[in-house]
Structure 1
Amino acid sequence: MRLLVAFIVIVLLALGSLLIGVSNVSWHSLFSPSADEQALQVLVISRIPRMLAVMLVGTSLGVAGLILQMLVRNRFVDPATAGAAESASLGLLAATILAPQLPVLGKMLVAAVFALAGTALFLLILRRIPLRSVLIVPLVGLVLGSVFDSITTFYAYRMDLLQSVNAWKTGDFSNVLRGRYELLWVTLGLTCCAYIAADRFTVAGMGEAFTTNLGMNYSRIMALGLVIVSLVTAMVVVTVGMVPFLGLLVPNLVSLFTGDNARRAIPWVAVGGAGFVLLCDILGRVVRFPYEIPGATIAGVVGSVLFLYFLLRRDARVG
């Protein structure tokens, strides 16, 4: 019942987002006997694709963050604090420099490979740290991400691509149009795959020894989770850029009332992630109307405050 109410709220936010913008679009102009053709074109070409892109990004990044937190067993890890986003940006830059004629799908695959390698390196470093406190793990991820980001910035400066790199780092939905966001539908399929394998991720979150004793292949579960996280991160970076704190905050909020069961948490994380990004996108469009603030900037401001709250909670613990 609560999930149904949350879903209705998301639908209302989505319908409201269709009416916000410089172009005058209203339900009256769309459904009146003399429908405004320009308003209909704006709705079909820009507003609906943007709304769908926002929801797909929120859903997929939230679930990717939940999976990564379970695999690493730490509440303060997500693709943006584990080096996945920065390594995906590095891969996208490498594809842009070395193979500029590569199609978008090819660049996404290169970015996914780099994201997978970056996340795997993050996990390898964690294995060599004898004491993994709740703060050390995200700190390692932030340092590793800064290394990848420095390499990306250096080569982007040399190749005069800094503007493109900045666009990949900041999630901005203002450029989303029909024909330029469809790759994000693949992230919905990956989210469904994560839900199908939810029980395995829950078991893997209890440790390698526990998983092996239940007769499951821990390495395969880890590989599946990393592939899902890497592909989702790469597709989001290639299409709209990264949205900070999303994969960290939404799973933490959901875990307060669903616990650590991935099958129960994933639907809530999907709905909560979509709602969070929708709300940030709407705020970014109305705060300085008719000018627009990127939704990722709003998410960064809200997310930083909530991140500090979770960080300072007395009962903060390893996932």
Structure 2
Amino acid sequence: MKNKRFITILFGSFLACTLIAFLGMMLGNRLLSPIKIFQILFGQAESTNANIFYYSRLPRALASFLSGAALAVSGAVLQNVLSNKLASPSIIGVNAGAGFGVTLCCSLGILSGWAVSAFAFGGSLLAVLMISLFASRTNASKTTVILGGVALNSILSAFSESLSVLDNDVAMLTTEFRVGGFSSISYTRLLPAAVMIVLSLIILFTLFNELDVVALGDETAKSVGLKAQKYRIVFLILAALLAGSAVSFTGLLGFVGLIVPHFVRWLTGNESRRLIPLSAVMGGGFVCLCDTLSRLLFMPYELPVGILMAIIGGPVFVMMLVRMKGGYKKC
């Protein structure tokens, strides 16, 4: 793909994402027109509108964009590192590992934002290392790796449910978390995860060439003098950190890390310098759109965004399975 076309797609996607986020901040039970939003930004609006904007709509828009970007990039990295088109945080157990970490954190009574993010990262890292170890030690096929990830996902989800069943307080704290959503988002919950997401993306943006080489296999990496195993571990840690950080404040959102990278590959190809930035922008825009729709479809009631994304993602996942034989040309 020519650079000019890629820049056009990236810029257009960013504009579309910005528009979606702006519409999300406008629309809801109380309409905030563009004029009102500008008045709020310049301190000329009534306090009620300002409170709605600053403490509900704005953190929600930031959270949906950051989580979508993190999950989409995490999925793209996992697909490259594991050389598996179906690898994504929600399918191979990474999200479930983060969810178990958060549930464990709540059961221990540790509720600070930094602690929740740390436990989520620990759980997601455990899951990604387990599936990576399973793939390398058993020389399993790509399909078997995915099935192993599905099994790990079920086991970790069962552990999380067990902790919730045994403690009513934990069950109350994790109710929204299990379906995914942003209705109770706050800056306190968002800040620790946002810092880790941004830092992870910055590090990843400096390693595009290494990611491309690792994706080509150990033999290619060896021929160019790259220590593939070392960088594979680095990329798995970054993928776990991105997914775990997102899950720590959004809950269990599925399919973002699967659908978005596939669509981006169809648009731009496999080069990381194009795949990663565009996945971040489109992932953020996709979750922003789903969050806005989840608030508007049944207003004044709100559908958890995780449910809406599962409704969209499930059929798309089945279509991808059916068309896998054609590779990315058909995906």
Q: Which residue in 2 is equivalent to 1:221?
A: 231
Judge which range, 55-64 or 225-234, deviates more: 225-234
Q: Which residue in 1 is equivalent to 2:203?
A: 193
Alignment of 1:195-274 (within 5 A): 195-274=205-284
Out of 15, 23, 46, the position equivalent to 2:22 is 15
CA contact 1:201–1:262 (8 Å) conserved in 2: yes
Change (3 A) 1:72 1:166: farther
Q: Which residue in 1 is equivalent to 2:183?
A: 174
Cα separation, 2, equivalents of 1:84 and 1:34? 45
Cα separation, 1, equivalents of 2:249 and 2:68? 13
Judge which range, 109-118 or 49-58, deviates more: 109-118
Q: Which residue in 1 is equivalent to 2:149?
A: 141
Q: Which residue in 1 is equivalent to 2:105?
A: 95
Cα separation, 1, equivalents of 2:312 and 2:152? 24
Letter in 2 for 1:38: T
Does residue 315 (structure 1) correspond to residue 322 (structure 2)? The answer is: no
Q: Which residue in 2 is equivalent to 1:298?
A: 308
Q: TM-score when scaled to structure 1? A: 0.92
Secondary structure of the residue aligned to 1:219 is helix
Shift of 1:39: 0.8
Q: Which residue in 2 is equivalent to 1:153?
A: 161
Alignment of 1:107-126 (within 5 A): 107-126=116-135
Q: Number of residues paired by the alignment?
A: 317
Change (3 A) 1:111 1:253: same
Shift of 1:64: 0.7
Judge which range, 35-44 or 11-20, deviates more: 35-44
Secondary structure of the residue aligned to 2:133 is helix
Q: Which residue in 2 is equivalent to 1:6?
A: 13
Letter in 1 for 2:277: P
Identity of aligned residues (%): 25
Shift of 1:30: 4.3
Cα separation, 2, equivalents of 1:18 and 1:266? 26
Instruction: Encode CA deviations 1:53-94: one digit per residue, 9 max, x unaligned.
Output: 111111111101100111100111111111111112222222
CA contact 1:66–1:247 (8 Å) conserved in 2: yes
Judge which range, 89-98 or 75-84, deviates more: 89-98
Instruction: Encode CA deviations 1:265-308: one digit per residue, 9 max, x unaligned.
Output: 11110111011101111111111011111112111111112111
Alignment of 1:50-65 (within 5 A): 50-65=60-75
More helix by share: 2
Letter in 2 for 1:309: M
**Unaligned 5+ runs, structure 1:** none
Change (3 A) 1:102 1:175: closer
Judge which range, 220-229 or 141-150, deviates more: 220-229
Change (3 A) 1:6 1:102: closer
Shift of 1:2: 2.2
Letter in 1 for 2:66: L
Shift of 1:204: 0.6
| CA RMSD after TM alignment | 2.2
CA contact 1:83–1:145 (8 Å) conserved in 2: yes
